[in-house]
Structure 1
Amino acid sequence: MNGNWLRVSPDELERARTDLGWAYEIAMTARDDNSGRWTATDKAWNGLDFLLDRLGFEIPLVLGAESFVELPDVEPDSEEMFDFLENLEDDWGYGPPSYLTPAQVAAAASQLATLTEDDLIRGVDPQELNRAEVYPGTWEKPGELAWVAHYLPDVRSFFAASAKEGDAIICWLD
């Protein structure tokens, strides 16, 4: 399970709201071309989300704040949810994508601007992540927190560039 982000213009975001199939093709092309419009945090997505939340980040930059699809009001692991996800038009991976608006991207970029790798993991006990069942669940291994933190410079750059251009970001797990 890997975390992904795709930069889109406000116009592209509007189109994606009504045509997720089109957005999926853009996302896959950007990923296949290793375009600067796409980046990923691989399996570190949940650890990064946990650590940013722990620091009080208000913008859920890993999973997105806005939904393209209204999910049914059922248990996440229920048969009804699996049926719903299976019937989505495109296979984004683990559920439909979500997004951050240009304003949310700018706010996240501002918060990330001064955050260091050391800030991200300072004082963190790996058992906190184990107790919270943070994926991938290998936090007792030496270097796992540093592995998550090493993504921070690229995340900071990606969000800064997105904010500078006034872009939104589509977020998904695959």
Structure 2
Amino acid sequence: MSMIGRYLRLSAAELERAALEPEWALAFVERLDDESAEADGGRARGGWARLHETGKAWQALDFLLRRREFPVDLVHGEEELPGAEDWGYGPPCRIAPDRVRLAVAALAALDPGRLTEGVAPADLAEARVYPQSLWEAEDSLHLVTAEYRALSDFLRAVATRRHGVLVWIE
């Protein structure tokens, strides 16, 4: 089993409901996962997507964004969902709509090539970034930049709708 980063797009009203009823948010995610499985992995893409995953690149993204002093914690979220139980490796955290918009502005200013500038896979291995076996390949940073682009696209669609997200590691 791998650890993966996950995101759920929610409106401001849905974020409030999730804060009051964290079990509703978990049931919502489970329903979306079930619908995706039934559709043979045909999860909505682009601006319609409710769920997004960064796969195993989550910790590398965190490492690289922290190096750039990124203003929003995109990997772990910013505020723990009150009363939420463990969704994998801890409870989910939320990023409010205004913070998503701030993140999108910062993402627009950080070209994917600059994200990994001055970093080699060996640096990630030395920092013990999960999964360490991934950093044995010389071209492994391409995976991280691809996930960075996909996360940027997802969050841009979230911000356009003035929504927020729940974030968790599963």
TM above 0.5, one fold? Answer: yes
Q: Give the structure-1-normalised TM-score.
A: 0.83
Aligned length in residues: 156
Q: Which amino acid aligns with 2:136?
A: E
Residue aligning to 1:31: 33
Structure 2, unaligned runs of 5 or more: 37-42
Aligned to 2:18: 16
Offset of residue 152 of structure 1: 1.9
- TM-score, length of structure 2 as denominator length: 0.85
Alignment-derived partner of residue 76 in structure 1: none
Query: Identity of aligned pairs, percent?
Result: 38
**Which whole-Å CA distance do the structure 2 matches of 1:149 and 1:45 have between them?**
11
**Cα deviation code 1:28-87 (max 9, x no counterpart):** 2233432411110011100111111111202111110111147xxxxxxxxxxxxxxxxx
1:156 counterpart SS class: helix
d(CA) in 2 for partners of 1:167 and 1:120? 25
Structure 2 residue 167 is the aligned partner of structure 1 residue 171: yes
The letter of the residue matching 2:74 is L
- Alpha-carbon distance, 1:141 to partner: 1.6
Deviation at 1:125, TM superposition (A): 2.5
Partner Cα separation in structure 1 for residue 152 and residue 81 of structure 2: 25
- 2: CA distance between counterparts of 1:30 and 1:110? 28
List aligned pairs for 1:1-174, cutoff 5 A.
1-32=3-34, 33=36, 34-35=43-44, 36-69=49-82, 89=85, 92-138=87-133, 139-174=135-170
Please report the RMSD computed on the Cα atoms of aligned residues, expressed in angstroms: 1.6
